A = this chain, B = another copy of it.
Amino acid sequence: MSATIKEVARAAGVSVATVSRVLNDSGPVREETRQRIRAVVDRLRYVPHGAARSLTTNSTSTVGVLLPDIHGEFFSEVIRGLDATARRGGYHVLVSSAHSEPGEMSAVLRALRGRVDGLIVMSPHLGAEALQADLSESLPTLLLNCRADGSPFASIEVDNYGGARAMVRHLAGLGHRRIALIQGPAHNYDAEERLRGYRDAMRALGAPEFTVEGDFSEEGGYRAARQLLALAERPSAIFAVNDSMAIGCLFALREAGVAVPEEIALGGFDDIPIARFITPPLTSVSVSIAELGELAMARLLAGIEGGRNGVISGIGEGNGEQRRETLPTRLVVRASCGAALGGTRKGDMALS
């Protein structure tokens, strides 16, 4: 059992009120008293009891983060960004991951009451309206990579649409017309936006659309590639909507003896660290995930602090002034698309 404020007070010969004041730097305290108390605090290794403080201040210094069932780098990176800026702001992060079913999501959201000062919800499966019932406008909330149209909450998302368009245009610029798309999981917002970008770009080019199902996994990319290879008229380029699938696809192409990029050009999305270290290095759309996490947390904390000060924040304050931000992507051209043929790692070219 650790010490309580009462024990500190007794040991320092003061009231708990005074101890509280020096702990929180609130109210005036005689310098000598302050030092005496500080000394006792250190000696007793006293740390205020979180729950007690939460109860009286009605704030928890923690934010809840709900993440879907995601694998790989993305998850790590986004947490890294979220956690770093949370800590800098003096907040803790309560995570809950692997929410594929809506019911689970609801349960967790409920359980968080009184435990968090705000919420970051990443829900590529569920649109904002589906979440609405479980979200409270009185709790600062930020939607991440979520279909957020018409929701009263602020949101941040990656420019999936723009990134996908850029990739298609780049491939088209290299002379490709038969550009196939390996899709992401059904009902996934990121995947759908990338698909939309592809479609619009293809339409603008007057090129034939050409899609095959996928699921964001290497295995899925592999299977999709096999399907494409079985086609009478093969595509001249393949755009996998994430790098994992692009890598699975590349494996299938190599297995089939198809030269990349000579026979089929290849592009991915996400620009995971491994992308530049496969052969040929993978052209991809770069997304700064950690930055996404940082930005999201910064916005949420601003909303929380703003709400505390009665400032209108647009973060679940029910004022309808919900902010919506989009994080830009960047096309990174490497050898897999044929543009940088023979180029080495050093030859990375970035097109904003």
Is residue A35 within 8 Å, beta carbon to beta carbon, of the partner chain? no
Is residue A98 within 8 Å, beta carbon to beta carbon, of the partner chain? yes
Is residue A51 within 8 Å, beta carbon to beta carbon, of the partner chain? yes
Check A96 against B97 for contact (C-beta < 8 Å): no
Is residue A54 within 8 Å, beta carbon to beta carbon, of the partner chain? yes
State the oligomeric state as a number of copies: 2
- Nearest CB in chain B: distance from A9 CB, A: 17
User: Which residues of chain B have C-beta atoms less than 8 A from A60's C-beta?
Assistant: 50-51
Is residue A24 within 8 Å, beta carbon to beta carbon, of the partner chain? no
User: Which residues of chain B have C-beta atoms less than 8 A from A83's C-beta?
Assistant: 95-98
CA distance A270 to B265 in the complex (A): 30
CA distance A55 to B51 in the complex (A): 6
User: Which residues of chain B have C-beta atoms less than 8 A from A71's C-beta?
Assistant: 73, 76-77, 80, 273
User: Which residues of chain B have C-beta atoms less than 8 A from A248's C-beta?
Assistant: 277
Check A50 against B113 for contact (C-beta < 8 Å): yes
CA distance A244 to B2 in the complex (A): 43
A49-B114, A80-B97, A95-B83 are contacts. A251–B273 as well, Cβ < 8 Å?
no
Tell which of A86-94, A229-237, A321-329 binds the partner. Answer: A86-94
Of B55, B274, B278, B345, which one neighbours A52 at CB under 8 angstroms?
B55
Check A72 against B273 for contact (C-beta < 8 Å): yes
Check B222 against A277 for contact (C-beta < 8 Å): yes
Q: Mark A204-223, 1 if CB is under 8 A from B, else 0.
A: 00000000000001100010
User: Which residues of chain B have C-beta atoms less than 8 A from A2's C-beta?
Assistant: 113-114, 136, 138
Of B54, B92, B136, B274, which one neighbours A51 at CB under 8 angstroms?
B54
Is residue A227 within 8 Å, beta carbon to beta carbon, of the partner chain? no
CA distance A162 to B325 in the complex (A): 49
Q: Mark A313-352, 1 if CB is under 8 A from B, else 0.
A: 0000000000000000000000000000000110000000
CA distance A73 to B272 in the complex (A): 11
> Max chain B CB contacts within 10 Å: which of A2, A69, A87, A247?
A87
Check B94 against A96 for contact (C-beta < 8 Å): no
Mark out the residues of chain A between 104 and 123 whose CB falls within 8 Å of any chain B CB in the assembled complex.
Answer: 108, 110-115
Mark out the residues of chain A between 34 and 60 whose CB falls within 8 Å of any chain B CB in the assembled complex.
Answer: 47-55, 60
Check B273 against A274 for contact (C-beta < 8 Å): no
Is residue A15 within 8 Å, beta carbon to beta carbon, of the partner chain? no
- Nearest CB in chain B: distance from A274 CB, A: 6
User: Which residues of chain B have C-beta atoms less than 8 A from A95's C-beta?
Assistant: 79, 83, 93-95
User: Which residues of chain B have C-beta atoms less than 8 A from A138's C-beta?
Assistant: 1-2
CA distance A77 to B71 in the complex (A): 7
User: Which residues of chain B have C-beta atoms less than 8 A from A48's C-beta?
Assistant: 113-114
CA distance A270 to B278 in the complex (A): 18
Of B47, B276, B278, which one neighbours A113 at CB under 8 angstroms?
B47
Is residue A25 within 8 Å, beta carbon to beta carbon, of the partner chain? no
User: Which residues of chain B have C-beta atoms less than 8 A from A73's C-beta?
Assistant: 71-73, 76
Q: Mark A60-85, 1 if CB is under 8 A from B, else 0.
A: 10100000011111111101100110
> Can you name 9 A-B residue pairings with CB atoms under 8 Å?
A2-B138, A71-B73, A73-B73, A80-B98, A83-B97, A92-B111, A93-B96, A94-B95, A244-B273
